[in-house]
Amino acid sequence: MSFSNQMEPTAGRPTAQADLRRRGIVAAAILIAIGILLLIAQVFRVEWLSLLVTPLLGVAFVAWSIAARAPGLMIPGGILAGLGTGILLMTQPFVTSAENELLPVAVFMFSFAAGWLLIVLLTPLAGGRPEAWPLIPGTVFAVLGGLFWMGEPGMRILQVIGTAWPLILIVAGIGILIRILSRNRRSI
């Protein structure tokens, strides 16, 4: 039996070369589709069409992640989908014409938070194990979205948080030091 760069197919599992080929085809299809979309936007001067590039790129990464069973691709997929959807939504008339001038920012923050949640929900479909860490930035952006949604009262809360932020860091640092020092005493 000779060794080669290909893995032996076992139980329906594709060879490494076939897996790389499939990933390459998906990547090529994504690039071609985005290129066509941008070309159409330029030729026909359809400016709103260019706003679809980022969310569609996010969807493409999500699809690629699932098709290639590559959970790491879900991270840029979720981030780009959330960012792109936020950019697209914050330019819509129902958002920009609202009385609350901070509503577009709130909509963007909520969309970005949803992108982080998308990572948590869809990573298992790509063969990865569920991860909770994307909930941290997702929660931060959702809270910020809620504060912007509130308008002026939310801005006052953000101002207080902005002023108190250094104190929170100091308290967290002291807490870590106390925990480390108490562990060292127990070990002596």
What pLDDT, in 10s, does the model give residues 99-150?
Answer: 889 999 999 999 999 999 999 999 999 999 989 999 999 999 999 999 999 9
Which tokens go with 66? Answer: 């699932």
Give the burial class of 134: count Cβ atoms within 10 A of its Cβ; 0-12 exposed, 13-18 middle, 19 or more buried.
Answer: buried
Instruction: Provide the whole-model pTM.
Output: 0.74
Q: Are 122 and 78 in contact (CB under 8 A)?
A: yes
Task: Look up tokens 């127990």; give the residue.
Answer: 186
Q: Are 147 and 103 in contact (CB under 8 A)?
A: no
Q: How many helices (H) and strands (E) does the chain have?
A: 8, 0
pLDDT digits (tens, 9 = 90+) for 23-79: 788 788 888 888 888 888 888 887 777 788 889 889 989 998 998 889 999 999 999
Which tokens go with 51? Answer: 């706003």
Axis crossing angle, helix 53-68 with helix 74-90, rounded to the nearest 10: 160
